[in-house]
């Protein structure tokens, strides 16, 4: 038997393997040819009397198996140096049945790598004559200890085979070793029953049926009521793990068929009522009034109905005493008991009803009349004499009859309104007024119509004189009372001044007033509507405030134009007080132009950044002569138009026109920055600017509230027009009309050419 077999049987590394490994290691490290293994003898003295101090062993390996026969040569001593297949002594036991497990006493054996047959390295075999018995052998059901473990004889510690039936509680149960063979064994399985008897929700008899074929507890039961009652059996219900139900159910009895109920103490119709449809036992009475007798209903002899078992009394004589002695269903037969009755009148009246007299022989009204009181105004008969509110003293107060001088004194009275008492108002004044007379102006009402001085405007407003002498007052009566007079005193006339007042009280206002215009030399100022205006002479005022139109263009369109000059216009369309005067150009470019602004040459009032472009302030608004002064007019603020014209004073043909898509005022137009430059469609007609110096012929430009570039500098303007450097309006810090007609930068000069006018139409 090889060592590998022994190792496999033991399940661990065998002693023989460990010995073999150690021997091979030693041979590899120390084994040399025999002659090299001898010690050097050159320096060894072998004299007869000398002995080596360190004897050296002779290491011989006669069979060449790597193990030495002499001790001290490394490794174990070769136990058979003549046999190259044996070199080690191993402890062994006898293995007669050759199952790899030995028995008997320990001995030694000189072997090589393989263990000879018939030996084993252990003595654990409990039966060395049977190779089916050894440690770890499968235990059989044969009365033998197959695995050499007395505790497991016949498989007591093994898992026996499963029982054939594994259903229900038998799941996992195993066979038992009986009489040397495996047999089914269910006894001892928890909950197992050969025949199912437990109600526990388990398959106790392992037949794949839970709680089946059980003996079910039962008891007697009935079904139906009355004559329909029958007997039967009812059963408990198996609830599985809950065991048997506490109650019984499913009674097998079938109730009988109900019949027709009779009045006979039997429940024929089976509704638990023996007298169903019959009033047996209920109270009953017979007779009426004093003849009434009480009893109860009982079954009739034939069982088809009930009868009252009472006997009525005998009728007597009727009395007024709440009893029906004559048994006719009327307790007060012949008496008016309960009917209404009354006694007394007015507030003394009392109502009640008739009731029986104490002796029961008649009926009496059971109330007494009330006590009378003094009569008052309340719509009642307080004194119970049959009259209402009679003989009362009426409350009164003093009164007058008539008006004015006809008035007379008397008394007026309140009226008794019955339940409402005395009236709040007094009426029926007994005064007699006098007869009316003719009215005079004296503060009295002689004609008695409620108006003093009827026909005279006493207290009404009045005035005397005119103009500055005008005085206001009120009308008063004359001394004779026949007329009225104005109590105002007129003022004294004064010299006429320009203030919109008739100072000299001649009926004319500011007439003949004029003066020299110091701001516009060579012109005369005229007084118009209380203010000084330079209009070029009073003859230039072409209309009156009452004739004002919306604009100069409307005056022209309505055919009431009187040529160029000053006109009253009213863009607000209100009263004449809203009108103001403007200068109208009725000839240039079709006419109808209203002057809204002008700027003289060299005047920087309307600088590009000036607030005048957008605020409400006016400037020299009373100087209306074109080219006379720098000015901003009311029309700049309030007159809308679609066409705007810019031209030079004295040469109306030199002009620039701009058309706006919608009507707008000049202020709205010029207060906005960055309006379009170089508008298209001929809005700025440069061709009408003709005079220019030749040195700047290559630099025409135009602008409108914008910045334009002229050679090396940027020009910022409100409205600038230049054709070959003539008529340029503004520069980098200027606006409309400032330093007009500059030729810079062509000549490098700063200067003005002319005045500029701004018109709207």
Cα 183 to Cα 174: distance, rounded to the nearest angstrom: 9
Q: Assess whether pLDDT exceeds 80 at residue 116.
A: yes
Q: What confidence score (pLDDT) does residue 593 get? A: 95
Q: What confidence score (pLDDT) does residue 637 get? A: 93
Q: What confidence score (pLDDT) does residue 561 get? A: 94
Q: Assess whether pLDDT exceeds 70 at residue 10.
A: no
Lowest mean pLDDT, pick from 264-268, 423-427, 702-706: 702-706
The token duo for 298 is 């009982």
252, HSE (Cβ side, Cα atoms, 13 Å): 8
Higher pLDDT, 580 or 627: 580
Question: Is residue 739 very low, low, confident or very high in pLDDT (cuts 50, 70, 90)?
Answer: very low
Q: What confidence score (pLDDT) does residue 585 get? A: 93
Lowest mean pLDDT, pick from 665-679, 682-696, 708-722: 682-696
Question: Is residue 676 very low, low, confident or very high in pLDDT (cuts 50, 70, 90)?
Answer: very low
Higher pLDDT, 490 or 1: 490
Q: What confidence score (pLDDT) does residue 653 get? A: 60
Cα 675 to Cα 705: distance, rounded to the nearest angstrom: 5
Question: Is residue 32 very low, low, confident or very high in pLDDT (cuts 50, 70, 90)?
Answer: very low
Q: What confidence score (pLDDT) does residue 582 get? A: 94
Average pLDDT score over the chain: 76
Residues composing the chain: 761
Name the packing angle between helices 3-10 and 15-30 (round to 10°).
130
pLDDT tens for residues 564-620?
999 999 998 767 778 999 999 999 888 999 999 888 877 777 766 678 888 999 999
Cα 545 to Cα 531: distance, rounded to the nearest angstrom: 14
Residue 170: DSSP 8-state: G
121, HSE (Cβ side, Cα atoms, 13 Å): 23
pLDDT tens for residues 227-263?
888 898 988 888 778 888 888 888 888 898 998 888 8
Lowest mean pLDDT, pick from 223-232, 632-641, 668-677: 668-677
Mean pLDDT across 443-457: 88
- The model's pTM: 0.39
Pairing of strands 580-585, 756-760: unpaired
Question: Is residue 754 very low, low, confident or very high in pLDDT (cuts 50, 70, 90)?
Answer: low
Q: What confidence score (pLDDT) does residue 201 get? A: 81
CA-CA-CA-CA torsion sign (731, 735, 739, 740): positive
Q: Assess whether pLDDT exceeds 50 at residue 522.
A: yes
Residue whose entry in the numeric block shows the structure tokens 């460990």: 18
Higher pLDDT, 498 or 749: 498
Q: What confidence score (pLDDT) does residue 537 get? A: 77
Cα 98 to Cα 105: distance, rounded to the nearest angstrom: 16
Percent of the chain with pLDDT over 90: 12
The token duo for 193 is 């029953």
Query: 130: left (phi > 0), else alpha (psi -120 to 50), else beta?
Result: beta
Q: What confidence score (pLDDT) does residue 640 get? A: 93
Lowest mean pLDDT, pick from 44-53, 227-236, 521-530: 44-53
Q: Assess whether pLDDT exceeds 70 at residue 751.
A: no
Cα 543 to Cα 39: distance, rounded to the nearest angstrom: 167
The token duo for 333 is 């037969």
Question: Is residue 275 very low, low, confident or very high in pLDDT (cuts 50, 70, 90)?
Answer: confident
Mean pLDDT across 268-295: 85
Cα 196 to Cα 204: distance, rounded to the nearest angstrom: 6
On whether the CB atoms of residues 671 and 614 are closer than 8 A, the answer is yes
Q: Assess whether pLDDT exceeds 50 at residue 280.
A: yes
For residue 748, the Cα-to-chain-centroid distance in whole angstroms is 74
On whether the CB atoms of residues 123 and 100 are closer than 8 A, the answer is no
Q: Assess whether pLDDT exceeds 50 at residue 384.
A: yes
> In Å, how far are 279, 286, 425, 429 from 275, measured between CA atoms?
7, 22, 83, 92
Cα 417 to Cα 322: distance, rounded to the nearest angstrom: 48
Residue 346: DSSP 8-state: G
Question: What number of other Cβ atoms are within 10 A of residue 595's Cβ?
Answer: 23
Q: What confidence score (pLDDT) does residue 617 get? A: 94
Q: Assess whether pLDDT exceeds 80 at residue 7.
A: no
Which ranges constitute the DSSP H helices of 623-665? 634-638
Q: What confidence score (pLDDT) does residue 700 get? A: 40
Shortest CA distance to 533 belongs to which of 490, 582, 576, 489? 582
Percent of the chain with pLDDT over 70: 77
Shortest CA distance to 366 belongs to which of 346, 341, 384? 341
Shortest CA distance to 700 belongs to which of 579, 58, 708, 489? 708
pLDDT tens for residues 50-98?
445 556 677 888 888 888 888 888 777 888 888 888 888 889 999 898 9
* DSSP collapsed to 3 states, 561-599: CCCCEEEEECCCCCCHHHCEEEEEECCHHHCCEEEEEEE
pLDDT tens for residues 396-412?
899 988 888 888 888 98
Higher pLDDT, 753 or 148: 148
Q: Assess whether pLDDT exceeds 70 at residue 552.
A: yes
Mean pLDDT across 116-123: 89
Higher pLDDT, 715 or 264: 264
Lowest mean pLDDT, pick from 9-13, 104-108, 206-210: 9-13
Q: Assess whether pLDDT exceeds 50 at residue 378.
A: yes
Query: Exposed, middle or buried, 104 (CB in 10 Å: 0-12/13-18/19+)?
Result: middle
Higher pLDDT, 161 or 564: 564
Shortest CA distance to 276 belongs to which of 285, 284, 267? 267
Q: What confidence score (pLDDT) does residue 549 get? A: 92
Question: Is residue 563 very low, low, confident or very high in pLDDT (cuts 50, 70, 90)?
Answer: very high
Cα 389 to Cα 381: distance, rounded to the nearest angstrom: 7
Residue whose entry in the numeric block shows the structure tokens 């661990």: 12
For residue 691, the Cα-to-chain-centroid distance in whole angstroms is 76
* DSSP collapsed to 3 states, 385-453: CCCCCCCCCCCEEEEEECCHHHCEEEEEECCECHHHCECCCCECCCCCCCCCCCCCCCCCCCCCCCCCC
Q: Assess whether pLDDT exceeds 50 at residue 683.
A: no
Considering only CA atoms, give the Rg of the chain: 78
Q: What confidence score (pLDDT) does residue 635 get? A: 95
N- to C-terminal Cα distance for the chain? 141
For residue 25, the Cα-to-chain-centroid distance in whole angstroms is 94
Q: What confidence score (pLDDT) does residue 53 get? A: 53
């Amino acid at each position: 038997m090889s060592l590998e077999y022994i190792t496999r049987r033991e399940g661990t590394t065998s002693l023989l393997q460990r010995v073999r490994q150690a021997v091979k290691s030693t041979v590899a490290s120390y084994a040399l040819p025999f002659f090299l293994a001898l010690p050097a003898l050159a320096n060894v003295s072998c004299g007869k009397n000398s002995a080596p101090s360190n004897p050296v062993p002779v290491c011989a390996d006669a069979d060449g198996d790597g193990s030495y026969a002499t001790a001290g040569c490394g490794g174990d001593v070769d136990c058979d140096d003549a046999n190259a297949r044996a070199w080690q002594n191993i402890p062994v036991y006898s293995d007669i049945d050759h199952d790899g497990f030995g028995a008997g006493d320990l001995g030694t054996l000189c072997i090589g790598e393989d263990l000879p047959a018939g030996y084993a390295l252990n003595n654990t075999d409990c039966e060395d004559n049977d190779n089916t018995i050894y440690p770890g052998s499968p235990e059989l059901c044969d009365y033998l200890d197959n695995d050499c473990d007395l505790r497991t004889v016949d498989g007591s510690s093994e898992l026996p085979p499963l029982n054939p039936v594994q259903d229900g509680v038998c799941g996992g149960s195993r066979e038992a070793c009986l009489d040397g063979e495996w047999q089914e064994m269910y006894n001892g399985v928890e909950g197992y029953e050969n025949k199912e008897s437990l109600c526990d929700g388990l398959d106790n008899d392992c037949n794949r049926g839970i709680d089946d074929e059980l003996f079910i507890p039962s008891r007697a039961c009935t079904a139906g009521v009355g004559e329909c009652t029958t007997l039967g059996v009812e059963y408990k219900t198996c609830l599985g793990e809950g065991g048997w139900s506490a109650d019984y159910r499913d009674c097998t009895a079938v109730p009988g068929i109900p019949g027709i109920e009779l009045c006979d103490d039997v429940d024929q119709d089976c509704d638990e009522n023996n007298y169903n449809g019959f009033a047996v036992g209920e109270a009953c009475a017979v007779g009426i009034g004093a003849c009434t007798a009480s009893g109860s209903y009982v079954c009739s002899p034939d069982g088809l109905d009930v009868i009252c078992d009472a006997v009525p009394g005998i009728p007597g004589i009727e009395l007024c005493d709440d009893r029906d002695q004559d048994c006719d269903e009327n307790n007060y037969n012949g008496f008016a008991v309960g009917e209404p009755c009354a006694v007394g009148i007015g507030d003394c009246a009392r109502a009640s009803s008739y009731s029986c007299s104490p002796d029961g022989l008649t009926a009496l009204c059971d109330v007494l009349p009330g006590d009378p009181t003094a009569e008052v105004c309340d719509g009642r008969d307080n004194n119970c004499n049959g009259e209402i509110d009679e003989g009362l003293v009426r409350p009164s107060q003093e009164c007058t009859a008539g008006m004015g001088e006809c008035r007379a004194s008397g008394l007026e009275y309140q009226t008794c309104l019955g339940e409402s008492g005395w009236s709040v108002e007094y009426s029926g004044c007994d005064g007699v007024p006098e007869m009316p007379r003719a009215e005079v102006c004296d503060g009295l009402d002689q004609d008695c119509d409620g108006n003093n001085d009827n026909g005279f405007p006493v207290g009404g407003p009045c005035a005397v004189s005119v103009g500055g002498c005008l005085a206001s007052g009120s009308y008063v009566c004359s001394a004779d009372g026949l007329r009225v007079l104005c109590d105002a005193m007129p003022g004294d006339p004064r010299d006429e001044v320009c203030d919109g007042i008739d100072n000299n009280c001649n009926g004319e206002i500011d007439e003949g007033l004029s003066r020299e215009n110091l701001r516009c030399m060579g012109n005369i100022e005229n007084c118009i509507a209380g203010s000084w205006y330079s209009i070029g002479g009073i003859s230039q005022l072409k209309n009156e405030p009452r004739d004002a139109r919306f604009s100069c263009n409307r005056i022209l369109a309505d055919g009431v134009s009187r040529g160029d000059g000053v006109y009253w216009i009213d863009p607000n369309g209100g009263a004449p007080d809203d009108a103001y005067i403007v200068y109208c150009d009725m000839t240039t470019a079709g006419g109808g132009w209203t002057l809204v602004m002008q700027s003289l040459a060299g005047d920087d009032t309307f600088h590009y950044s000036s607030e005048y472009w957008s605020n409400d302030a006016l400037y020299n608004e009373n100087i209306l002569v074109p080219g006379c002064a720098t000015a901003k007019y009311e029309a700049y603020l309030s007159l809308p138009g679609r066409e705007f014209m810019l031209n030079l004073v004295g040469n109306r043909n030199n002009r620039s026109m701009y058309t706006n898509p919608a009507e707008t005022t000049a202020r709205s137009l010029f207060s906005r920055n960055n309006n379009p430059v170089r508008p298209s469609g001929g809005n700025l007609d440069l061709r009408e600017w003709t005079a220019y110096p030749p040195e700047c012929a290559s630099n025409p430009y135009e602008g409108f509230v914008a910045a334009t570039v002229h050679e090396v500098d940027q020009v910022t303007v409100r409205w600038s027009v230049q054709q070959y450097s003539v008529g340029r309006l503004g520069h980098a810090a200027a606006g409309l009309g400032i330093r007009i007609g500059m030729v810079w930068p062509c000549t490098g000069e700063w200067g003005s050419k002319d005045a500029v006018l701004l018109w709207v139409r």
